[in-house]
Amino acid sequence: MRRRRGRVAWWLVFLIGVLYFVLPLYATFVFSLKAKPAFSAYADALSDPLFAQSLGYSMVVGIVTIFASLALIVPTAYWVQLRVPRARSLVEFVTLLPFVIPAVVLVFGLIRVYSRPPLPFTHTDLGSTFLLVAGYVVLSLPYMYRAVDAGLRAIDIRSLTEAAQSMGAGWITIILRIILPNLRVALLSGAFLTLAIVVGEFTIASFLARPAFGPYLNLLSGYEVYQPAAVALISFGLTWLAMIAIAVIGRGTRVRVQIGGAR
């Protein structure tokens, strides 16, 4: 009996949440339809070839950023939790810095440092894109670190590591084949957050002169009234679809490593 009553309560919580999230989107949608003729705002938005190009570029950069960020954060968070807990405060402080650095300051700083020898990244296209990815890894640090940390706390990394080591596994094997598979939910969360940041960001992309989606949105005429609303909803929907794709792909092999008997 308690379960059923409990379940009703959770349904209520869920529905209130849905209402809060959906209403503003619905209101935006209603507004975007006021363009005459109806849906012309959407037709205009989708017929522009730059829309697909820039969105594609941002998605690719997003995926690269996710992998780069994971490659940096997962070993670090793992190491902090396992071996160097004293470093935790310092590492977390560093991961929170991106919140308090204005994006313009970060991008101008990157340009100043990396537009001249010895590391003239801005002189080439590839270098500029590399700089963009680096900037986005910085922006995603807080979220990625917290997500991975939450995931690591939920599993017993000590026992897992000991068991793996006792079977002769090296560090790389441990991380790739033992730790990562157990972090599935955390990794997906981090990936979603990072992708959203990358697709929506425009300050860094535009000052680095990259053909990303954010700057494209900005170039949309400032005097358009309905089209930006339509584009915002479209990009919301497309990013959501991308995340669903990531979730489905990530569902793949779910390896649960059991240590000993029942937990």
Partner 1 sequence: MKRDLTRWAGLLATSAIIFAACSSGGGAATSAPSASASSAPSESAAASESASASASAGAVGGPSEELIAAAKTEGNLTTIALPHDWCNYGEVLDSFKTKYGIAVNELDPLVGSGDEIEAIKSNAGNPGPQNPDVVDVGFAFGEANKDLFLPYKVSTWDTIPEAAKSADGNWYGDYYGVMSFVTNTEAVANPPKDWADLTKPEYKNQVALDGDPRTSNQAIQAIYASGLGNGGSLDNAQPGLDFWGNIVKAGNFVPVDANPATIVSGATPIALQWSYNGLASRDANPQIDVTIPATGRFGGVYVQAINKTGPHPNAAKLWMEHLYSDEGQLLWLKGYCNPVRYEDLVKRNAVPADLAAKLPDTTGAVFPTPAQLESATKLITEGWDAATGVKTIATPAP
Partner 2 sequence: MADQGALAARPGRRRSWSWLGLIPFFLFAILFIGLPISYLVLGSFQGLDGNPTLQNYAELSSPTITNAFATSIEVSLVTAIVGGFFGFLLAYAVILGGLPKVLRDALMTFSGVASNFAGVPLALAFIFTLGQLGVLTLWLRGLGINLYASDFTIYSKLGLEVVYLYFQFPLMVLIIAPAIDGLRPEWREAAENMGASSWEYWQRVALPILAPTLIGTMILLFGNAFGAQATAYQLTSGQIPLVPLLIGNQISGDVLHNPGLGYAMAMGMVIIMAGSIAVYTVLQRRAERWRR
User: Whole-angstrom Cα distance, residue 12 to residue 257?
Assistant: 35
Position 30 contacts partner 2 (CB under 8 A): yes
Shortest separation between residue 263's beta carbon and partner 2, angstroms: 6
Residues at the site binding partner 1, with contacts judged by CB under 8 A: 31, 102-104, 108-109, 111-112, 115-116, 120, 122-124, 128, 139, 196-197, 200-203, 206-209, 214-215, 218-219, 221-226, 228-229
From residue 96, alpha-carbon distances to 9, 82, 85, 90, 230 in Å are: 35, 21, 17, 10, 33
- Identify which range of 47-55, 57-65, 205-213, 224-232 contacts partner 2 by CB under 8 A: 224-232
End-to-end CA distance of the chain: 27
Among positions 42, 51, 57, 143, the unique one binding partner 2 when judged by CB under 8 A: 143
**For residues 24 and 37, which CB has a smaller minimum distance to partner 2 in the complex?**
24
Binding site partner of 176, from partner 1, partner 2, none, Cβ cut-off 5-8 A by kind? none
DSSP for 63-131, please give it: HHHHHHHHHHHHHHHHHHHHT-GGGHHHHHHHHHHHHHS-HHHHHHHHHHHHSSTT--GGGSHHHHHHH
**For residues 78 and 226, which CB has a smaller minimum distance to partner 1 in the complex?**
226
**For residues 57 and 214, which CB has a smaller minimum distance to partner 2 in the complex?**
214
Binding site partner of 51, from partner 1, partner 2, none, Cβ cut-off 5-8 A by kind? none
Shortest separation between residue 85's beta carbon and partner 2, angstroms: 7
The answer to whether 48 and 219 are in contact (CB under 8 A) is no
User: Whole-angstrom Cα distance, residue 177 to residue 159?
Assistant: 15
Question: In the range 47-76, which residues lie near partner 2 by CB under 8 A?
Answer: 72-73, 75-76
Other Cβ atoms within 10 Å of 173 Cβ, number: 14
